[in-house]
């Protein structure tokens, strides 16, 4: 067993390396992902200025050596704020995606495996969620539950839930009657362990792709909500709210206020999307040798 | 399997008419679900919903009035009955900020949102579908690479950020676009209202000057929204086209000597459009959501900016009315998509769930 | 009429350049039917696609010529090729339903071809299309003209594909595995139709198939391919009766045929005496009035309508029928994966049918009844190595320690002839035959007394099928297990079985000793099945 596991790790790792060599874009995406994580972890302790400290004397200065990304209307350092915001934005999206991943896996797995009224009921609920334009539903949920960061996370998790639940449901459903699932039953596995130990692990690769693509979307969603004044409140540093603040100055030409936080937002989403595409290549069985 | 019943030509519509009616009937539980969720959202307010609906400046008396109006002292089923009854009468409550019934506010501002959304969708479909087809028929060519870049960039750009960039470039730097404030510059008069779509109304009135002024205002927000919706459509078209081109029936068609044009456009594209039409549902969902952000950026007087203003003012009746209106609009759009799908896919009558 | 000379076809793949066809030469004369036979990966289909220049992306003709009445198909300009396809040379495919445009009426698809090759104008296209459909013996063609492929059966779809291919009276027809996926009786009808049309119109044709019986029956000449090379070509009778090449001889040997024993499928040097086994006269399994009804969309579907049979201790019973006859449902109930609607399943005298399938996983008799699945690839968890797959029943159903389990896995691998170094490999790293061995080893782990073999060789090439059938025969002799062998192929079933049960539409139509059923069937349906199966060639030494 241990040798088999070691071998599997080795071959899987070998395969990943092989695909990465084949696809430098994915390699770059992995690198950018590492940089983002590093920014979120150590960024706040490395930035040159206090992200909340205002200094009226240097308000609205364009980028310079002292302030790489310029300063905002209160004289706060845009660079420091952009870096510090990484942690909050990533936390919101990771927490939301994790919640919907877990809930979606459990619900979708059970519905896909057992079918029947469970499946019908879940499908109805998911259909109803999907009957709302998702961003609008998130607005409604945050407005109803109250304007806080936690509620942004819950709202984002709820609107992401159908994607996971449906994906897992479909993946489990197509494998429910697969030979290896039947063989697992003949080997003495109960239904739940067939589902959890044999079928679900095979649904993981497409799930990981979905997670990666969804992380980008969750960031967009959270930033969009704070852009219209929901969730995160000033003076907290967050990319969406910084773009919103900068938007007021764009018509008078102070471009750096909106550009830099927006750019970081784009980079983060772009990274997750590239990563998702790359993961798709890695897990696609047709690309396996 | 034995041969399925023969398809008699003239009965074709009747045969498929039933599933279409079925599909319309299926929308009913969804609408009920939407109403239930929006009801739950109004009652899930932390604290006393009456206080929220009465607004921050309300006194004891008006709070009590709201409480009685919403039936908040009664059991939940009764409250739901009151809620549903009000909905049927078209009563979504009164907006605190405008002092008008929410229903009227929404109805007045809806055409602005629809004009923007439809213009953006037409624009993005007109670009994305040909782009996806070209990319799929010429894999590895510059069109393919362009498609890939646009698709990846498109899904990574937040609409509000794209909008701001476009304003900076085309309004501040180049001066080509009018100031990003609303549907029409104040020096023009609004065309007399027929459809509520300024472009259509201006044409109906024969007022070409207003038409072009409205078009200039519309250009930037529509492009912003189109850039966002372009990505999923192009991506799906390319993928569906690739899979159709590698399918067995395309090989049969090639082996039978059909021309390349017939194979690509007559056989492959028609099949590839089916999944694209299905994707449109998701695209609409994104578009209606992104619409809110674009309206805020361009001060577009649609229902999205109305909701944003209401959110800032804690105007709950208006926000909930907006959410419900958007959901119903989306359900209707999905119905149209499904009917469209049934019209182009002959199998639908058999596959109906 | 067609002369292929030194044709080489290569594919660009992620693993570099792969040569699929390595310089083959063959000739098809006027009015001649050439059969190209070979196992999977022999390059036979690729050759056909190359003739019409419809290779998949990445494929390229690298050298050689294919001269068809003065035109070199390998180098002709695309314009000229477009006129050749469908008018001079056309092709019919396997999986007919997928070969038709799913959202276009079949009549219109035939019209497209007619109009393209100027065989019909706008006013007469429809009548010509209907005539083309009538030519392939489609009854009520005028009504079927409006049908979509999904409204037609597989056999009917294949007729449409044939009508489409023959609409413009081509002079050469290429048939690529035209009957794969069709039931035996439909298969015969389709092949007889194609053969009759070819004869009537005096066409030449190329039949690509893995089935020697089919090739022997319908072809004048045979070309045998292996790994992109022609190993032998010649007169159909000669090639199979007096094969010159060892590979051809092995193929002929491995094809189950009249009078063959399971050992005679193997190459001569590997044959031993037929393994002997004993059948006791006690019933190990007794199925009584077994019934299964599903809830269908339009009322209940009676999949199995009250069948009874028994399997004696040590015996092998064949369960034969075409798709949809209820044989798979029956085996699923017997192996306790599905619950019967009514009836008894007595195993060793106890009614295991009374234990719900859901809780049978923990039943003490679970290990005693096991199954070998139809598709070895599908039946192995892609994320588990071979050893883990074999070990799984030991972990769940026995008390063996980890060390004991490891020893047992090695013992089982040895038993089924799986080299020990392969047990750390994942399914996608194993060949079809190796995966079949893993599946068998897994089923044997808990010392079952009864094994259900659900078409265990259906997805395998004939030479590997021969090896697996012999392995099953050896195991039976060594371990004294009883088998229920489920298959659609009477010739294969006969090799292993003592008795045979024939099912149709949920009922047993015939039951008897294997030889008796084969030679003197009492039910007309059985006789039809036997007659429809192609008769493979036999060696004359």
**Which CATH number belongs to the domain containing residue A263 in this structure?**
1.10.3720.10
State the distance between the two ends of chain A, measured CA to CA, in whole angstroms. 23
Q: Which residue of C has its CA nearest to A194?
A: C361
Provide the residue count of chain A.
Answer: 289
Q: How confident is the model at residue C387 (pLDDT cuts 50, 70, 90)?
A: very high
Q: φ and ψ at A257, to 5 degrees?
A: -65, -45
Q: For the residues C26-45, what does the mean pLDDT come to? A: 90
Question: Which residues of chain B make contact with C158, given a CB cutoff of 8 A?
Answer: none
Is A183 close to C373, i.e. CB distance below 8 A? yes
Please report residues of A whose CB lies closer than 8 A to that of C383: 201-202
Check CB contact under 8 Å for A187 and C14.
no
- The verdict on residue B116 lying in a domain is yes
* Separation of alpha carbons B181 and B220, rounded Å: 11
CATH at residue B129: 1.10.3720.10
Per-residue pLDDT, A287: 43
CATH class of C283-532: alpha beta
* Residue C320 pLDDT: 93
Inter-chain touch C140–B255, beta carbons under 8 Å: no
What is the SS3 assignment for chain B? CCCCCCCCHHHHHHHHHHHHHHHHHHHHHHHHHHHHHHHHHHHCCCCCHHHHHHCCCCCHHHHHHHHHHHCCCCCHHHHHHHHHHHHHCCCCCECCCCCCEHHHHHHHHHHHHHHHHHHHHHHHHHHHHHHHHHHHHCCCCHHHHHHHHHHHHHHHCCHHHHHHHHHHHHHHHCCCCCCCCCCCCCCCCCCCCCCCCHHHHHHHHCCHHHHHHHHHHHHHHHHHHHHHHHHHHHHHHHHHHHHHHCCHHHHHHHHCCCCHHHHHHHHHHHHHHHHHHHHHHHHHHHHHHHHHHHHHHCCCCCHHHHHHHHHHCCCHHHHHHHHHHHHHHHHHHHHHHHHHHHHHCCCHHHHCC
Give which of C12, C79, C112 to mutate to test B binding, by max B Cβ within 10 Å.
C112
Instruction: State the best of B27, B289, B320 to mutate against chain A, taking most chain A CBs within 10 Å.
Output: B289
CB contact under 8 A, B248 and C98: yes
Looking at the complex, does the CB of residue A284 fall below 8 Å from at least one CB of chain B? no
Judging contacts by C-beta atoms under 8 Å, the chain B residues touching residue A265 are 158, 161
Cα C130 to chain centroid, rounded? 33
Model confidence over C223-281: pLDDT tens digits?
A: 999 989 999 999 988 888 888 899 998 888 888 888 788 888 888 888 888 888 888 98
Summarize the confidence of residues C115-132 as an average pLDDT. 89
Query: Are the CB atoms for A142 and A152 separated by under 8 Å?
Result: yes
Question: Chain C neighbours among B 9-68 (CB < 8 Å)?
Answer: 9, 12
Q: Taking residues B169-173, what's their average pLDDT?
A: 84
Beta strand extents in C38-131 (DSSP E only): 59-68, 71-72, 89-92
For residue B125, pLDDT over 70 is answered with yes
Subunit contact A1:C391, Cβ cutoff 8 A:
yes
Closest CA to C253 of C463, C438, C76, C12: C463
- How close is the nearest chain B Cα to the Cα of C137, in Å? 15
Measured CA to CA, the distance from residue A120 to residue A122 in angstroms comes to: 6
Spell out which residues of chain C touch residue B139, defining contact as CB-CB under 8 Å.
57
Q: Are strands C89-92 and C71-72 parallel, antiparallel or unpaired?
A: unpaired
In a domain, B270, yes or no: yes
Tokens in use for C56? 């998949």
The DSSP element (H or E) to which C329 belongs, if any, is: helix C327-334
Note whether B2 contacts C: Cβ–Cβ < 8 A.
Answer: yes
Helix (H/G/I), strand (E/B), else coil: C159: helix
Closest CA to B297 of B308, B311, B286, B287: B308
Q: Which residues are registered as beta bridge partners of A76?
A: none
Residue B149's pLDDT band, with cuts at 50, 70 and 90, is confident
Q: Are C434 and C467 in contact (CB under 8 A)?
A: no
Closest approach of chain B CAs to the CA of A268, in angstroms? 8
Name the closest residue on chain C to residue B242, using Cα atoms. C57
Tokens of B331: 């359900």
pLDDT, mean of residues C165-177? 92
> What residues of chain A lie within 8 A of the CB of C396, using their CB?
187-189
pLDDT of amino acid A14: 67
Please tell me the total count of domains within chain B.
1
Domain count for chain A, please give it. 1
- The reply to whether A209 touches chain B by the CB within 8 Å rule is no
Contact (Cβ atoms closer than 8 angstroms) between residue C97 and residue C135:
no
Residues B8, C82: C-beta atoms closer than 8 Å? no
- Distance separating alpha carbons of residues C56 and B255, to the nearest angstrom: 12
- Chains with at least 3 CB pairs less than 8 angstroms from chain C: A, B
The C-alpha R_g of chain B, in whole angstroms, comes to 24
pLDDT, residue A18, reads: 67
CATH 3.40.50.300 in chain C, residue ranges: 283-532
Q: Alpha helices of C335-485 — where are they, by DSSP H?
A: 357-360, 376-379, 386-397, 402-415, 432-444, 462-479
Contact of A218 with chain B, judged by CB distance below 8 Å, is answered with no
Which residues neighbour C396 within 8 Å (Cβ) at sequence distance 6 or greater?
Answer: A187, A188, A189, C361
Task: Looking at the complex, report in whole angstroms how far the Cα of residue A117 sits from the nearest Cα belonging to chain B.
Answer: 15
By the 10 Å C-beta count (0-12 exposed, 13-18 middle, 19+ buried), B89 is classed as exposed
Chain C residues in contact with B6 (beta carbon < 8 A): 140, 143-144, 146-147, 151
**Mean pLDDT of all residues in C373-395:** 89
Mean pLDDT of C22-47: 90
Residue B177 CA to residue B170 CA, distance in Å, equals 6
Can you spell out the DSSP letters for A92-139?
A: HHHHHHHHHHHHHHHHHHHHHHH-HHHHHHHHHHHHHHHTS-HHHHHH
* Cβ-Cβ contacts under 8 Å, A230 against chain B: 311
Cα–Cα distance measured from residue C494 to residue B310, given in angstroms and rounded to the nearest whole number:
80
Which of A74-88, B240-254, C51-65 has the weakest average pLDDT?
A74-88
- The pLDDT value given to residue A29: 81
Where is C289: in which H helix or E strand? Answer: strand C283-296
Q: Do C246 and C306 meet the contact criterion of CB atoms below 8 Å apart?
A: no
pLDDT surpassing 50 at residue B353: no
Q: Who among B1, B251, B258 is closest to C153 (CB)?
A: B1
Q: Return phi, psi of residue A83, to 5°.
A: -65, -45
Predicted local confidence at residue B203, as pLDDT = 83
* CA dist., res. C159 & res. C92, Å (int): 10
Closest CB to C100 among B1, B252, B266: B252
CB–CB contact C151 B3 (8 Å): yes
- Please tell me the predicted confidence (pLDDT) of residue C268: 82
What is the DSSP pairing of strand C342-347 with strand C204-209? unpaired
Measured in angstroms, the CA of A225 and the nearest CA of chain B are apart by 9
Residue from the list A144, A228, A262 with its beta carbon closest to the beta carbon of B308: A228
Q: Give kind and range of the element (H or E) at residue C165.
A: helix C154-166
Q: Is B297 on the interface with A (CB under 8 A)?
A: yes
Going from the C-alpha of C149 to that of each of B4, B256, C134, C153, the distances in angstroms are: 10, 17, 17, 8
The whole-angstrom separation of Cα A17 and Cα A11 is: 10
Which residues in chain B touch residue A159, judged by CB atoms under 8 angstroms apart?
none
The pLDDT score that the predictor gives to residue C324 is: 83
Q: Which residue of C has its CA nearest to A6?
A: C424
CB atoms within 10 A of CB C398: 16
Q: How many CB pairs under 8 A join B and C?
A: 113
**Alpha carbons C504 and C225: distance in angstroms, whole number:** 37
CB C345 within 8 A of CB C287: yes
Report whether the peptide linkage leading into residue A235 is cis, meaning its omega lies within 30 degrees of zero. yes
ipTM of predicted complex? 0.83
Looking at beta carbons, which residues of chain A come within 8 Å of C370?
186
Q: What are phi and psi of B259, to 5 degrees?
A: -65, 160
Q: Select from A6, A14, A188, A195 the residue whose CB has the most chain C CBs within 10 Å, as the one to mutate to test that interface.
A: A188
Shortest Cα distance from B246 to chain C (angstroms)? 8
Q: What is the pLDDT of residues C318-371, one digit of tens each?
A: 999 988 889 989 999 999 999 999 999 999 889 998 999 888 888 889 999 999
**pLDDT at position B15:** 55
Cross-strand pairs, B201: none
For residue C147, what is the nearest residue in chain B, using CA coordinates? B7
CB contacts of C54 in chain B (<8 Å) are 251, 254-255
Beta bridge partners of C310: C286
User: Which tokens is A172 given?
Assistant: 């489990």
Between B2 and C22, the more confident residue is: C22
Instruction: Please judge whether A133 and B160 are an interchain contact, meaning their C-beta atoms are less than 8 angstroms apart.
Output: no
Q: What is residue B119's predicted lDDT score, i.e. its pLDDT?
A: 92
Domain span at residue B267 reads 102-344
Give the residue numbers spanning the domain of A185. 3-288
Confirm or reject contact between A198 and chain C (CB < 8 A). Answer: yes
Rg of chain C taking only CA atoms, in angstroms: 25
Query: Are the beta carbons of C150 and B256 separated by less than 8 Å?
Result: no
> Residue C206's beta-bridge partner residues?
C34, C174
Chain A to chain C, count of Cβ pairs less than 8 Å apart? 86
Q: How far is A126 from chain C (nearest CA, A)?
A: 24
- Contact flag B164-A135 (C-beta cutoff 8 Å): no
Residues 6 or more apart in contact with residue B196 via CB below 8 angstroms: B110, B111, B112, B114, B115
Residues 225-254 in B contacting C (C-alpha not used; CB under 8 Å): 246-249, 251-254
How far, in Å, CA of A255 to CA of C253, rounded? Answer: 81
B156 near A CB under 8 A: yes
Residue C192: what pLDDT? 92
Q: Which pLDDT belongs to residue B348?
A: 65
Question: Residue ranges of chain A with pLDDT lower than 70?
Answer: 1-16, 18-23, 281-289
- Average pLDDT of span B152-181: 84
Q: Once rounded to an integer, what is the mean pLDDT over residues B12-25?
A: 67
Q: Can you tell me the distance from the alpha carbon of A101 to that of A105, in angstroms, rounded to the nearest whole number?
A: 6
Q: B38-84: per-residue pLDDT in tens?
A: 888 877 766 677 777 777 777 888 888 877 777 777 788 888 888 88
State chain C's mean pLDDT as an integer: 89
Predicted local confidence at residue C298, as pLDDT: 75
């Amino acid at each position: 067993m241990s040798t088999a596991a070691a071998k599997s790790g080795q071959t899987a790792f070998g395969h990943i390396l092989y695909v990465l060599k084949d696809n430098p874009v994915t390699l770059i995406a992995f690198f950018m992902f590492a940089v983002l994580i590093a920014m979120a972890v150590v960024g706040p302790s490395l930035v040159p200025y206090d992200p909340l400290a205002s200094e009226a004397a240097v308000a609205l200065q364009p980028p310079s050596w002292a302030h790489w990304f310029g300063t905002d209307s209160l004289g706060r350092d845009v660079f420091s704020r952009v870096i510090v915001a990484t942690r909050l934005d990533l936390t919101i999206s990771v927490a939301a995606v994790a919640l919907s991943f877990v809930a979606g896996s459990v619900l979708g797995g059970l519905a896909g495996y057992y079918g029947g009224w469970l499946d019908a009921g879940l499908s109805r609920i998911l259909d109803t969620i999907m009957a709302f334009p998702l961003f609008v539903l998130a607005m409604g949920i945050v407005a109803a539950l109250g304007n806080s960061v936690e509620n942004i996370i819950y709202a984002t998790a709820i609107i992401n839930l159908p994607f996971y639940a449906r994906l897992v449901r479909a993946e489990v459903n197509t494998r429910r009657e697969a030979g290896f699932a039947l063989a697992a039953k003949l080997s003495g596995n109960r239904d739940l362990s067939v589902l959890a130990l044999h079928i679900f692990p095979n649904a993981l690769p497409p799930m990981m792709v979905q997670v990666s693509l969804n992380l980008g979307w969750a960031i967009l969603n959270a930033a969009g909500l704070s852009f219209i004044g929901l969730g995160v409140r000033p003076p907290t540093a967050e990319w969406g709210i910084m773009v919103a603040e900068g938007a007021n100055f764009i018509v008078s030409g102070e471009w750096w206020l909106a550009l830099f936080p927006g750019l970081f937002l784009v980079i983060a989403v772009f990274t997750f999307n590239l990563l998702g595409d790359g993961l798709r290549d890695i897990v696609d069985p047709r690309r396996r040798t | 399997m034995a041969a399925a019943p023969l398809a008699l030509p003239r009965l074709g519509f009747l045969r498929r008419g039933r599933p279409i009616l079925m599909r319309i009937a299926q929308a009913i539980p969804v609408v009920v679900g939407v109403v239930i969720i929006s009801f739950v959202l109004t009652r899930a307010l932390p604290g006393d919903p009456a206080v929220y609906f009465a607004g921050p400046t309300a006194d004891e008396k008006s709070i009590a009035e709201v409480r009685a109006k919403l039936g908040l002292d009664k059991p939940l089923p009764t409250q739901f009955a009151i809620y549903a009854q009000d909905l049927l009468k078209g009563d979504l409550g009164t907006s605190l900020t405008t002092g008008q019934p929410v229903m009227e506010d929404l109805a007045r501002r809806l055409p602005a949102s629809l004009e923007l959304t439809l213009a953006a969708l037409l624009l993005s479909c007109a670009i994305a579908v040909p782009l996806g087809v070209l990319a799929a028929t010429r894999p590895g060519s510059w069109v393919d690479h362009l498609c890939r870049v646009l698709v990846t960039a498109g899904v990574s750009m937040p609409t509000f950020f794209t909008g701001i960039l476009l304003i900076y470039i085309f309004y501040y730097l180049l001066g080509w676009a009018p100031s990003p404030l609303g549907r029409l510059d104040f020096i023009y008069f609004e065309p007399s209202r027929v459809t509520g779509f300024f472009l259509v109304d201006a044409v109906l009135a024969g007022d070409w000057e207003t038409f072009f002024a409205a078009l200039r205002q519309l250009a930037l927000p529509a492009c912003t929204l189109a850039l966002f919706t372009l990505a999923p459509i192009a991506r799906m078209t390319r993928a569906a086209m690739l899979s159709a081109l590698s399918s067995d029936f395309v090989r049969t068609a090639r082996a039978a000597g059909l021309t390349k044009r017939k194979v690509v456009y007559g056989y492959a594209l028609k099949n590839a459009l089916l999944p694209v039409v299905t994707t449109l549902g998701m695209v609409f969902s994104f578009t209606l959501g992104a619409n809110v952000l674009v309206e805020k950026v361009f001060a577009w007087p649609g229902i999205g900016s109305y909701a944003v203003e209401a959110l800032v003012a804690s105007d709950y009746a208006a926000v909930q009315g907006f959410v419900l209106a958007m959901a119903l609009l989306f359900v209707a759009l999905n119905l149209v998509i499904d009917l469209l799908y049934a019209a182009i896919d002959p199998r639908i009558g058999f596959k109906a769930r | 009429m067609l002369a292929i000379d030194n044709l080489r076809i290569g594919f660009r793949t992620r693993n570099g350049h792969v040569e699929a066809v390595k310089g083959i030469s063959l000739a098809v004369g006027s009015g001649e039917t050439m059969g190209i036979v070979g196992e999977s990966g022999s390059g036979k289909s690729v050759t056909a696609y190359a003739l019409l220049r419809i290779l998949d992306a990445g494929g390229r003709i690298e050298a050689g010529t294919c001269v068809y009445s003065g035109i070199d198909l390998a180098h002709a300009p695309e314009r000229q090729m477009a006129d050749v396809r469908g008018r001079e040379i056309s092709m019919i495919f396997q999986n007919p339903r997928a070969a038709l445009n799913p959202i276009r009426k079949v009549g219109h698809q035939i019209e497209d071809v007619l109009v393209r090759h100027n065989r019909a104008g706008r006013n007469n296209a429809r009548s010509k299309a209907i005539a083309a459909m009538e030519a392939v013996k489609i009854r009520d063609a005028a009504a079927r003209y409006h049908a979509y492929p999904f409204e037609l059966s597989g056999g009917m779809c294949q007729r449409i594909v044939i009508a489409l291919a023959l609409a413009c009276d081509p002079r050469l027809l290429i048939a690529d595995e035209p009957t794969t996926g069709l039931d035996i009786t439909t298969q015969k009808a389709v092949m007889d139709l194609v053969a009759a049309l070819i004869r009537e119109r005096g066409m030449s044709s190329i039949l690509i198939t893995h089935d020697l019986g089919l090739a022997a029956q319908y072809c004048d000449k045979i070309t045998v391919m292996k790994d992109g090379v022609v190993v032998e070509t010649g007169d159909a009778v000669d090639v199979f009766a007096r094969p010159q090449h060892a590979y051809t001889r092995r193929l002929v040997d491995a094809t189950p045929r009249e009078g063959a024993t399971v050992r005679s499928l193997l190459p001569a040097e590997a044959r031993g005496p037929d393994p002997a086994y004993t059948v006791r006269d006690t019933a190990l399994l007794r199925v009584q009035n077994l019934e299964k009804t599903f809830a269908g969309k339009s009322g209940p579907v009676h999949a199995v309508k009250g069948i009874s049979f028994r399997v004696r201790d040590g015996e092998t019973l064949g369960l034969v029928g075409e798709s949809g006859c209820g044989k798979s449902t029956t085996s699923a109930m017997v192996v306790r994966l599905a619950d019967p609607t009514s009836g008894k399943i007595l195993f060793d005298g106890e009614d295991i049918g009374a234990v719900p399938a859901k809780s049978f996983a923990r039943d003490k008799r679970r290990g005693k009844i096991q199954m070998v699945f139809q598709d070895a690839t599908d039946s192995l968890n892609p994320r588990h190595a071979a050893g883990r797959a074999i070990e799984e029943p030991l972990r769940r159903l026995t008390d063996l320690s980890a060390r004991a389990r490891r020893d047992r896995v090695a013992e089982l691998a040895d038993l089924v002839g799986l080299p020990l170094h392969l047990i750390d490999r994942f399914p996608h790293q194993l060949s079809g035959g190796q995966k079949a061995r893993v599946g068998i080893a897994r089923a044997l782990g808990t010392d079952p007394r009864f094994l259900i073999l659900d078409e265990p060789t259906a997805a395998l090439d004939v030479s590997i099928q021969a090896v697996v059938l012999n392995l099953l025969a050896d195991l039976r002799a060594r371990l004294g297990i009883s088998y229920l062998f489920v298959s659609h192929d009477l010739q294969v079933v006969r090799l292993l079985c003592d008795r045979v049960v024939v099912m149709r539409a949920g009922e047993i139509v015939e039951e008897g000793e294997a030889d008796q059923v084969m030679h003197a069937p009492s039910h007309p349906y059985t006789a039809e099945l036997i007659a429809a199966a192609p008769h493979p060639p036999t060696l004359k030494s």
